[in-house]
Structure formats: structure tokens, C-alpha cells
Amino acid sequence: MDGSATKSVCCGRPPWRKGATRRREDEINGKQADMQFEGKKGLVLGVANDHSIAWAIAQRIMDAGGECGFTHLPDREDDERKRNRRRVAQLTDKYENAKFLVPMDAQKDEDIARVMEQAAETFGKIDFLLHSIAFADRNDLARETVYTSRDGFKLAMDVSVYTLLACTAAAKPILNPGGAIATMTYFGGEKCVPGYNVMGICKAALEAAVRYLAYDMGPHQVRVNALSAGPIRTLAGRAAGVEDMLTLYEHMAPLGRNISHDEVGRTGAFLLSDDSNGITGEILHVDGGYNAMGSPGRLLDHIKKQQ
Ligand SMILES: NC(=O)c1ccc[n+]([C@@H]2O[C@H](COP(=O)([O-])OP(=O)(O)OC[C@H]3O[C@@H](n4cnc5c(N)ncnc54)[C@H](O)[C@@H]3O)[C@@H](O)[C@H]2O)c1
């Protein structure tokens, strides 16, 4: 393992709970954080920055006592500032429970294997795996789906779908029975959401993959689920047209608002915790109920008011 890849963690850093957003919330609410992840260890794949959904979920897990190993997208050799790594390290360095941070390009099997080796070395076995990875070329996202390029289709499917299979297979030998895998999806995989385009096809495939993987991993007592999140402002979200969706959800979702990072964080952690032990092969929506609507609902009232 490249020395620069291993996290220079812990020593001299503030205790993990001090930097925790959730801790601050708990102090305000006068509550103690639930320690349901005490003794649990796992991998968090897909933190890019503090807006990432994976970070919201990881924070919940670490606040509840879990230990995490993180990956970041490898930096380009000519990027002397190592920006990808630095953005994630700025977050993980605040948490004693963040045990390592290593580069991983999920399109490379050797990178995935190295991450699993690092996890085995640090943790022995793991209890959870969060896959929060997706990518499509902007040009393909911007095109009508019918004109998606062949290379763009392969790239989007490889990063956004195949990597779940590859990471699950690679993690299988070190996953404890009772363990859980979760991935992130979006409603555009169930219904046509114009603008989501090729990524909608990827999410449909990802959701099918969740069901097949749940079947394969079932005998090992490992669960596989997906969280279908409403729009959230993140790097990937912006690229996939989240801004327009935020307004739409506010008017159409039964809750009449968008969801927060914290809400996705809690439900993501739930899917990776023992609290969801009987659930596998499930697509769980955290979208204010948007997916339940069969008509624009109160959005019509809004439009009428403006006429
Ligand atoms: N933001 C939303 O509105 C929203 C809604 C529903 C689902 N999702 C899904 O949530 C997941 C996380 O996205 P996010 O919104 O937190 O954005 P994000 O940009 O913070 O996370 C996407 C992550 O994918 C990683 N990634 C891309 N290509 C990779 C590769 N080759 N190897 C390894 N990692 C790679 C990026 O480094 C990044 O960390 C994605 O699957 C996304 O489709 C997002």
C-alpha cells in the first residue's frame, strides 16, 4: 500500500465526536446519539465533498459508533494539490472513527481489490458497504436519450451499475454474515424523468442489480438494498439537473418540501444497520412521497394561482 494512500489519522486530532454535525444537533436537542453501530466496521465508497450523500450517511454511522474506511477518486498526476484527496481528507480527518482514506477508481478492478485488502488489514471483516457512485459524461446527459453515444452509454453503465457488482464480489470474502450493502438510486430509473436521460437507464439497471445481488448474497446472510433519494444539491446531482427538480418536488411531493442531507443520512444508515435486518432487495424512497403521486397534485393549484 502506497504510504500516501493511508490516512494520517487520529493522533493529535480532536476526538471524533467533537467535529460531528450530529453531535451538535444532539446537544441542541438534549439527546444522546444512538450507538447502534458500536463495534461495526465498513466501507464508504463515493464521498467527493461535504455535500455528498455518502458523507451524510457516513456521519450518521460514525456518530453512532461505527468505524469507516473511505475512498476518494484518484487525483490526476499533474494535480500537485491532490484536490480530490484533500477535499475528502478535510472531512475524514475530523473523525477518529474514519480509519483510512485510499484512492479508488471503481472502473479498475485492481483499485477495488486494493481497497478490500486495506479493509481486511484494518478491520479484518466488515459489516457494511456503501456504494454511492455514479457518473455519466455531461454531453450524454445533455443529449436526448435517443442520441446517447455508445461509448457514453458504456461508461455510464460501467461506473454507475457494474461497479456495484464488482464491489460486492470483491467485498464478499470479508463481509460478515448479518452484513449489509446499500447503493443510491433515483426515481428516474422507474419512470421517465426528462433530463435524467441515460442515467435513468443506469438506475433502472442498478435497481435490477440490487434484486439479483440480494438473491446471490442472501445465503451469506448479507442484505442488498437501494435508497431512492429525492433531489439533493451535490456534484452529481447538479450534473443530473437537480435544480429544476427541487422546485418540482416542493410543489408535488405530499410533504410539500424537499428532503435534507440529514434525512438521507439517517435512512442510509438504517439500511446498513441491524435495524433493517429483515429487509433485502428493497428500493426505499426518501423523497417526501413524490413517487407515490399519480397526478401533479398541489402543483396544479400553484399553476392556477399564477394564471
Ligand atoms: N444528488 C441527488 O439528487 C441524488 C438523488 C438520488 C440518487 N443520487 C445518487 O447518489 C449517489 C451519490 O451521488 P451524490 O449526489 O452524493 O453526488 P457526489 O458527486 O457527491 O457523489 C458521486 C460520487 O461518485 C464518485 N465516482 C464517480 N466516478 C467514480 C469512479 N470511476 N470511481 C470511484 N468513484 C467514482 C465520485 O467521486 C463521487 O464521490 C449517486 O449514485 C447518485 O446518482 C443522487
Pocket test for ligand 1, best of 44, 50, 53 (most atoms within 8 A of CB): 53
Please tell me if the CB atom of residue 231 comes closer than 6 angstroms to any atom of ligand 1. yes
Please tell me if the CB atom of residue 222 comes closer than 6 angstroms to any atom of ligand 1. no
Q: Is 186 a catalytic residue?
A: yes
Distances (CA, A) of 221 to 24, 110, 279: 35, 26, 11
**Torsion angle defined by CA atoms of residues 93, 94, 98 and 100, in that order, rounded to the nearest 10 degrees:** 0
What is the rounded average pLDDT for all residues in the chain? 91
pLDDT for position 33: 54
Q: Average pLDDT, stretch 234-240?
A: 91
Q: How far apart are CA 268 and CA 58, in angstroms?
A: 9
Q: Average pLDDT, stretch 211-238?
A: 97
Please tell me if the CB atom of residue 48 comes closer than 6 angstroms to any atom of ligand 1. yes
**Torsion angle defined by CA atoms of residues 183, 188, 190 and 192, in that order, rounded to the nearest 10 degrees:** -170
Q: Average pLDDT, stretch 137-141?
A: 95
Query: In CATH, what is the architecture of 3-306?
Result: 3-Layer(aba) Sandwich (3.40)
CA 201 to chain centre: 18
- Over the stretch 160-196, which tens digit does the pLDDT of each residue have? 999 999 999 999 999 999 999 999 999 999 999 999 9
Q: How far apart are CA 57 and CA 170, in angstroms?
A: 22
Query: What is the DSSP secondary-structure string of 194-243?
Result: TTTHHHHHHHHHHHHHHHHHHHHHGGGT-EEEEEEE----SHHHHHTTHH
Q: Average pLDDT, stretch 275-302?
A: 96
Among the listed residues 229, 230, 185, the one whose alpha carbon sits nearest the alpha carbon of residue 208 = 185
Please tell me if the CB atom of residue 136 comes closer than 6 angstroms to any atom of ligand 1. no
- Cβ-contact 136, 199 below 8 angstroms: yes
Q: Is 50 exceeded by the pLDDT of residue 120? A: yes
3-state helix, strand, coil in the chain (%, to 5): 50, 15, 35
- Cβ-contact 143, 99 below 8 angstroms: no
DSSP 76: P
Please tell me if the CB atom of residue 106 comes closer than 6 angstroms to any atom of ligand 1. yes
Please tell me if the CB atom of residue 156 comes closer than 6 angstroms to any atom of ligand 1. no
Per the residue annotation, which of 95, 147, 196, 212 is the catalytic one? 196
Q: Which of 6-15, 169-178, 246-255 is predicted least confidently?
A: 6-15
CA 303 to chain centre: 34
- Cβ-contact 186, 228 below 8 angstroms: yes
Please tell me if the CB atom of residue 130 comes closer than 6 angstroms to any atom of ligand 1. no
Q: Is 290 a catalytic residue?
A: no
Which ligand 1 atom sits closest to the C-alpha of 159? Answer: 31
Question: Which residues are CB-contacts of 133 (< 8 A; sequence separation ≥ 6)?
Answer: 45, 46, 106, 159, 160, 163
Give helix then strand counts, H and E, for the chain. 12, 7
Which ligand 1 atom sits closest to the C-alpha of 105? Answer: 32
pLDDT for position 303: 86
Please tell me if the CB atom of residue 235 comes closer than 6 angstroms to any atom of ligand 1. yes
Q: How far apart are CA 92 and CA 141, in angstroms?
A: 31
The three-state secondary structure class of 303 is helix
Pocket test for ligand 1, best of 43, 133, 141, 290 (most atoms within 8 A of CB): 133
User: Which protein residue has the closest C-alpha to ligand 1 atom 28?
Assistant: 135
Residue 26 CA, ligand 1 centroid: distance in Å: 28
The string over 268-304, giving b where at least 16 C-beta atoms fall within 10 Å of a residue's C-beta and e elsewhere, is bbbbbbeebeeebbbbbbbbbbbeeeeeebebeeeee
Q: How far apart are CA 253 and CA 219, in angstroms?
A: 38
Q: Is 50 exceeded by the pLDDT of residue 29? A: no
Residue 142 CA, ligand 1 centroid: distance in Å: 17
Which ligand 1 atom sits closest to the C-alpha of 53? Answer: 16
CA 182 to chain centre: 8
User: Which protein residue has the closest C-alpha to ligand 1 atom 17?
Assistant: 236
Q: Average pLDDT, stretch 18-45?
A: 67
Confidence class of residue 4 from pLDDT cuts 50, 70 and 90? very low
User: Which protein residue has the closest C-alpha to ligand 1 atom 10?
Assistant: 184
Q: Average pLDDT, stretch 144-167?
A: 98
Q: Taking the domains of the chain in order of start, what are their residue ranges?
A: 3-306
264: its cell numbers: 438521507
